[in-house]
Amino acid sequence: EELLRTRRVDGLILVESETQDRRIERLSREGFPFVLIGRYDPEDAVCTVDNDNIGAAYMATDYLLRTGRQRVAYLGGPAGLTVTRDRLQGYKAALEAHSIGYDPHRVVFADFNARSAASATTELLTQSPPPDAIIALDDMLAIAAMRTAKQQGYRVPEDLAVVGFNDSPLCEYVEPRLTSIAVEIPLLARKATEMLIGLIEGREPSPKRQIAPARLVKRESA
């Protein structure tokens, strides 16, 4: 509101947008240049830059299933975030590709803090049978899940494989080291900035949606 009223900036890059985001409606209505990182809706006529979140979650799930895991669970972030929704879609697609039925009880959501992640992980582990693998929305949630599982007597990766996202430096400092999906954050930032500058200068970007690839970094947790 303040930025729009004072016009102290020429454009905005928005991150962590929600599936229903009033900021987008307001900026579009005002004709204010902006670019989204991490959201895509085919009906949107806005510019977006994003990781291939659907493909990345498919990659992680497929890897776990191909390495012998049979009960893969998904630990998402807040349910309203687009990235949570997109990675859930990729997770479901990989299950379907392996002819495994989707079980909604193996999907839980957590806020971005250790207590919420621990509670969600416990919810998964008290199921019968419990999952033998967990894909978490980011590395912090994955590390919290791994710690919670170990506290409850699970061995990682013997009893429970864990995969995170973002390939943060933390992955190398936990035991066992965390397998993670690497996302190209510097590439995303550069693409979003270039696209925004084009909008400010009156050039319509083509295409309006740009995707950065992801890759699996294998370590000991899976």
Q: What is the pLDDT of residues 52-80, one digit of tens each?
A: 999 999 999 999 999 999 999 999 999 98
- DSSP per-residue string spanning 63-91: HHHHTT---EEEEES-TTBHHHHHHHHHH
Contacts of 85 (CB under 8 A, 6+ apart): 19, 79
- Judged on CB neighbours under 10 Å (0-12, 13-18, 19+), 184 is middle
Q: What is the pLDDT of residue 44?
A: 64
Examine the domain organization and report whether 157 and 67 are in the same domain.
Answer: yes
Is residue 65 situated within a structural domain? yes
Q: What is the pLDDT of residue 48?
A: 86
Q: What is the CATH number of the domain that holds 23?
A: 3.40.50.2300
Examine the domain organization and report whether 57 and 41 are in the same domain.
Answer: no
Examine the domain organization and report whether 126 and 166 are in the same domain.
Answer: yes
Query: DSSP secondary-structure letter at 42?
Result: T
Examine the domain organization and report whether 160 and 62 are in the same domain.
Answer: yes
What's the structural domain count of the chain?
2
Q: What is the pLDDT of residues 15-56, one digit of tens each?
A: 865 555 677 777 877 778 888 887 656 566 788 888 899 999
Q: pTM above the 0.75 mark? A: yes
Examine the domain organization and report whether 46 and 119 are in the same domain.
Answer: no
Measured between its terminal Cα atoms, the distance across the chain in Å is 45
Residue 10 sits in which domain range?
A: 2-51+184-213
Examine the domain organization and report whether 58 and 45 are in the same domain.
Answer: no
Q: Are 210 and 191 in contact (CB under 8 A)?
A: yes
Is residue 220 situated within a structural domain? no
Examine the domain organization and report whether 84 and 193 are in the same domain.
Answer: no
Is residue 222 situated within a structural domain? no
Examine the domain organization and report whether 23 and 60 are in the same domain.
Answer: no
Q: What is the pLDDT of residue 36?
A: 86
Residues of the chain predicted below pLDDT 70: 1-7, 16-21, 39-44
3-state secondary structure of 54: helix
